Amino acid sequence: MNLLFSSQFLLFQLPSCQFLLPCPKKQPQCILTNRVCHRNTYISPLSPSFPVLSHHSLRARLAPVGATVPTNEGVVSEGVVSVINFEDVAEKDWSFLDSDDFSSEQDKLKVERIISAGEIKETSRVMVSVGSEAFVDQLVESSPCSMLAVIHDSLFVLAGIKEKYDKVKCWQGELIYAPDMWAPLDVIFLYFLPAVPFNLTQVFGAVAKCFSPGAKLVISHPQGREVLEKQRQQYPDVITSDLPEKSTLEEVAAEHFFKLTDYLDEQGLYLAVLKFVGAN
């Protein structure tokens, strides 16, 4: 299921839960027009299949909410939208991306180094693939840009990011299927490449379609291979591949018109920076 979050969603917060709801009648200009895509089938966000998200709790009580609802004829009518009770939401465990191990000053400096490798400008269009909330926090605070999009497999991670940063565009799904409406991009951070369930050739091919010459691809792991291996043992359903060796990166990069400009593979940090040179 792929889900687009946009500024057309109103975040409505209750004491214990947060929901994505259509705007009330007093603000008809904010009526939902987005769609949720279940594979190749589109459904309305007002459908009973539309998930209610809670960043703080996986459980939500059933509650009717008055709202304006767009009809098939495009005419707005008043109706009631029920909040669906999700007792148990099946989702992979991504908690290790924001664990205490990443909260030290040293790790923050590593993340700063990763972000600086992208050379972000205020006019840059930036995308983050499988990023942690902490990484997005630091990116937003340190590097203002014209557009920031986050792609992640987790609806709850995206909901947490969207709660804090309404202007950040969030898309639930896989990198190679990301919509091309945000292209051309200037920087893509593959913050946790080993969680992307595609080979390097597929990833580079998808990224190249989003880039203009001079754009940068930054592949990283703020704690390096040794920690990654421990994470793989604990989260085998999330971590499906390894960090690429330098020779492998150079080979695949050349096939897709990238040039490796920086490579660091140390015990406590993995960082590879590639520049898209274009077909010419």
**Mean pLDDT of all residues in 11-38:** 34
pLDDT at residue 158 is higher than 60 = yes
Placement of tokens 């920087």 in the chain: 187
**Mean pLDDT of all residues in 226-238:** 89
50/156: higher pLDDT: 156
pLDDT at residue 247 is higher than 70 = yes
Q: Quickly name the fold that domain 95-276 has.
A: Rossmann fold (3.40.50)
pLDDT band at 277 (very low <50, low <70, confident <90, very high): very high
* Average pLDDT, rounded, for the chain: 74
pLDDT at 89: 47
Label residue 71 exposed, middle or buried (CB < 10 Å: 0-12, 13-18, 19+).
Answer: exposed
pLDDT at residue 65 is higher than 60 = no
Neighbouring C-beta atoms of residue 89, cutoff 10 Å: 14
**Mean pLDDT of all residues in 39-64:** 34
pLDDT band at 4 (very low <50, low <70, confident <90, very high): low
Neighbouring C-beta atoms of residue 153, cutoff 10 Å: 19
Winning range, highest mean pLDDT, from 35-39, 85-89, 248-252, 266-270: 248-252
Query: Where does the chain hold its CATH 3.40.50.150 domain(s)?
Result: 95-276
pLDDT at residue 77 is higher than 50 = no
For 172-198, the pLDDT digits (tens) are: 999 999 988 999 999 999 999 999 999
CB 117 within 8 A of CB 218: yes
